[in-house]
Amino acid sequence: MKNFSNKFILLSTLVVSMTAPATTLKEAVVAAFTYDSALQSDRATTKADKQRYWQGVSGMLPSVNLQGGWNRQEQPSQKYQTGVTRHSYNVEMQQPVFDMAKIAAWKKGDAIANTSEAQFFQSQQKLITDVSEAYFSVLYQQEVLQAAQSATQTFKSQYTSLQSGLRNGQNTRTDVDEARANYDLAQAKQIQARNDLLLAGEAFRKLTGTIPEGVEPINFQCIAPEPALTLNQAVSAAQRNNIAVKIAQLQTEQASADVLAADGAHLPTVSVYASYGKNWSRNDADNNVLYDAIFGTRSKSSNLQYGVSVSVPLFSGGGQLSQSFEAAYRKEAAKDNITEAQRKAIQDTRSAWLSIKNGVALMQAQKHAVDSAQQKVKSIQYERNMGLRTTTDELDAQQKYYESLRDYSEAKYKFLAAILQLSLYTGSLDIDSLDIFQCR
For residue 9, being part of any structural domain is answered with: no
For residue 113, being part of any structural domain is answered with: yes
Per-residue model confidence (pLDDT) at position 285: 59
> Tens of pLDDT along 229-255?
899 999 999 999 999 999 999 999 999
Last residue of a domain, one of 312, 345, 368: 312
Same domain, 422 and 291: no
Q: Which is more confident, 157 or 19?
A: 157
Per-residue model confidence (pLDDT) at position 14: 37
Task: Identify residue 61 by its one-letter amino acid code.
Answer: L
Same domain, 117 and 71: no
Per-residue model confidence (pLDDT) at position 440: 60
Of 191, 194, 161, 197, the closest CA to residue 179 belongs to: 161
Last residue of a domain, one of 278, 295, 312: 312
Same domain, 205 and 128: yes
CA distance linking residue 149 with residue 192, whole number of Å: 11
Sorting pLDDT into bands at 50, 70 and 90, what band is 26? very high
The CATH code of the domain that includes 190 is 1.20.1600.10
CA distance linking residue 102 with residue 125, whole number of Å: 35
Same domain, 199 and 51: yes
Same domain, 245 and 305: no
* Residues whose CB falls within 8 Å of the CB of residue 379, separated by 6 or more in sequence, listed in order: none
CA distance linking residue 78 with residue 284, whole number of Å: 14
Same domain, 139 and 176: yes
Task: Identify residue 53 by its one-letter amino acid code.
Answer: Y
> Tens of pLDDT along 44-68?
999 999 999 999 999 999 999 999 8
Same domain, 177 and 246: yes
Q: Averaged over 81-105, what is the pLDDT?
A: 86
Same domain, 280 and 383: no
DSSP code of residue 429: -
Per-residue model confidence (pLDDT) at position 19: 44
Q: For residues 79 and 211, is the Cβ–Cβ distance under 8 A?
A: no
> Tens of pLDDT along 267-282?
899 999 999 998 877 7
Per-residue model confidence (pLDDT) at position 16: 38
For residue 82, being part of any structural domain is answered with: yes
For residue 278, being part of any structural domain is answered with: yes
Phi–psi pair at 18, nearest 5 degrees: -80, -35
Last residue of a domain, one of 247, 282, 312: 312
Torsion of CA 27, 30, 31, 32, to 10 degrees: 120
For residue 127, being part of any structural domain is answered with: yes
Per-residue model confidence (pLDDT) at position 329: 94
For residue 72, being part of any structural domain is answered with: yes
Per-residue model confidence (pLDDT) at position 287: 55
Per-residue model confidence (pLDDT) at position 9: 35
Same domain, 326 and 364: yes
Q: For residues 222 and 439, is the Cβ–Cβ distance under 8 A?
A: yes
For residue 14, being part of any structural domain is answered with: no
> Tens of pLDDT along 98-140?
999 899 999 999 999 999 999 999 999 999 999 999 999 999 9
Same domain, 104 and 72: no
Sorting pLDDT into bands at 50, 70 and 90, what band is 299? low
Of the chain, the percentage scoring pLDDT greater than 70 comes to 88
Per-residue model confidence (pLDDT) at position 15: 37
For residue 338, give its domain range.
Answer: 19-60+99-267+319-438
Q: Averaged over 3-11, what is the pLDDT?
A: 37
SS3 71: strand
For residue 89, being part of any structural domain is answered with: yes
Same domain, 304 and 380: no
Same domain, 164 and 291: no
Domain count, the chain: 2
